[in-house]
Amino acid sequence: MKKTIAIVAGGDSSEHDVSLRSAEGIHSFLDKERYEVYIIEIKGMTWEAHLKDGSRSNVDRNDFSFMEGGKRIRPDFAYITIHGTPGENGILQGYFDLIHLPYSTSDVLVEAMTFNKFTLNQYLKGFGVSVSESLIVRKGFEHLITDDEIIEKIGLPCFVKPNAGGSSFGVTKVKSADQIHEAILKAMRESDEVMVEAFMEGTEISQGCYKTQEKEVVLPATEVVSDNEFFDYNAKYNGQVREITPARLKEETAERVSLITSMIYDILGCNGIIRVDYIITHTTDENGKERERINMLEVNTTPGMTATSFIPQQVRAAGMDMKDVLTDIIENKLS
């Protein structure tokens, strides 16, 4: 009999609709001869399964089941593609652990840590991963640090971003002191914590990776060349960017990036597909020799999965098929 796969999408953040687009992508990629596939949309306390006739059925949160044609269906596996809360910060993973339903992402701790950009940076820094200088500003405690202190520690320009969030919602590239306060307020509309991060100029790349009991796959990196000030929402979703896969890197650099991506996957103990974003910077030392540094920006544990998203691009560049990749991930947890 076919296993039933629930693609869990939506969520409670500004990325709700982006997540639904990823769900449609995953639905198109999955092997329908092997699996029965449903999209389950979550928003607040409304959890609904999208049925094949176009109607919707309420999900019973006791066991994640729903009714279709008089029959109760309980999925065998949850493919989580919520970008933001509750699917990318460990909350939904904890629920699935409680009801013993296998899922596609990393576990509660990994999800919570990777969703908190500042915590992740400080943790991986201890393993020798290069990250930008940053500080955290918490809602209600903004008065504890002045704009001048931020500039002294971080410098200008800098990025002010929600500490928990994605798709570049609430992100500002700050170029002058008088922009800091408004940028923090904007970011706090997305998250109660705001990270102020030093600007790094260089080549921006993004690389996917997944591992199963049988294989380790590090995908070709994608180079991101934005028409905008940075890789913002319009660049990501409205075509104001060039995405070059494989990235135009020296062979030695590409190998180093792949090793770091694989190392980060193992350090965190990830599961399923992740995507790691980097900035590669170049400096000149006192002897005039150029130094290259691979700086991690963030780890995305539920990366976008539309046909044009980074991961499908990279899978195609690797000569692989998304259907096989998703089957690998699902069967790794069901076996």
Q: Where in the chain is the domain with CATH 3.40.50.20?
A: 3-104
Catalytic residue among 22, 57, 167, 168: 167
Architecture category of domain 113-130+200-330 in CATH: 2-Layer Sandwich (3.30)
User: In the prediction, which pLDDT does 163 show?
Assistant: 86
Q: What's the fold here for domain 134-198?
A: Dna Ligase; domain 1 (3.30.1490)
User: In the prediction, which pLDDT does 230 show?
Assistant: 53
Q: Where in the chain is the domain with CATH 3.30.470.20?
A: 113-130+200-330
Please check whether residue 79 is in contact with residue 157, taking contact to mean a CB–CB distance below 8 angstroms: no
User: In the prediction, which pLDDT does 238 show?
Assistant: 52
User: How far are the Cα atoms of 114, 195, 239, 258, 324 from residue 124, in angstroms, in the given order?
Assistant: 10, 16, 32, 16, 31
Annotated binding site: 277, 298, 300
Catalytic residue among 15, 111, 193, 204: 15
- Residue in 209, 166, 246 with CA at minimum distance from that of residue 329: 209
Please check whether residue 261 is in contact with residue 273, taking contact to mean a CB–CB distance below 8 angstroms: no
Annotated binding site for Mg(2+): 277, 298, 300
15 is catalytic: yes
Q: Where in the chain is the domain with CATH 3.30.1490.20?
A: 134-198
User: In the prediction, which pLDDT does 142 show?
Assistant: 85
13 is catalytic: no
Averages of pLDDT over each 10 residues, the chain, 335 residues:
96 92 97 98 98 97 97 98 94 98 98 94 96 93 90 93 74 92 91 92 96 97 81 53 94 97 98 97 84 95 93 97 98 93
Q: Are strands 35-43 and 3-10 parallel, antiparallel or unpaired?
A: parallel
3-104 carries CATH number 3.40.50.300: no
User: In the prediction, which pLDDT does 165 show?
Assistant: 63
Q: What is the pTM of this model?
A: 0.90
User: In the prediction, which pLDDT does 29 show?
Assistant: 97
**H or E element that contains 190:** none
